Amino acid sequence: MKTENLKFPIGEYKPAEFISAEQRQEWINTLEHAPAKLEHAVIAMSDSQLDTPYRDGGWTVRQVVHHMADSHMNGYIRFKLSLTEEEPAIRPYDEKGWADLHDSKTAACGASIELLTILHKRWADLLRSMTDAQFKRTFFHPATKGTTTLENALDLYVWHSEHHIAHIMELSRRMGWHLS
């Protein structure tokens, strides 16, 4: 398989051009159920499988799981800030640095999956309560020097979930590991 396909198994992120209320509801449902899909992808893995990189130079499955929790905690906070402040500047963080910390490399995946399950439930509850106008609220990202609407951020976090779950599923397929 080509390196680009291993890096972006579902394709690179491309923001949706038109977002309907129905599309947002579909994304909310996908986001809410992503932790269950992630758990299904890793539940039967041994420690050596969890410590296998999904591609040469990529993170291990374990690091991917913990990265999703780290990223989505930040995402949830970005939504809360955007709903309570006028175009807040969000705080970027060093994803690679966080993934290289001891806990990301060694901790059991269960705690991050449990955290994601609860976080995504809360996030979905928040998202379902939002008005069309609230989905148009924005935050400013200092690293990209750009603004993002909350509906585009929802699109991105849904893609992010599917992207990393696909990393794990594709690795399992390539390695001949059988999912439960």
Binding residue numbers: 67, 160, 164
Which parts are annotated binding residues for Zn(2+)?
67, 160, 164
Q: Which residues are CB-neighbours of 24 under 8 A, at least 6 positions away?
A: 127, 135, 151, 154
Cα(86)–Cα(102) distance, rounded to whole angstroms? 36
- Residue (of 93, 39, 32) closest to 61 by Cα position: 39
* Distance separating alpha carbons of residues 157 and 24, to the nearest angstrom: 12
Whole-angstrom Cα Rg for the chain: 16
CB 62 within 8 A of CB 48: no
The tokens 């972006």 sit on which residue? Answer: 8
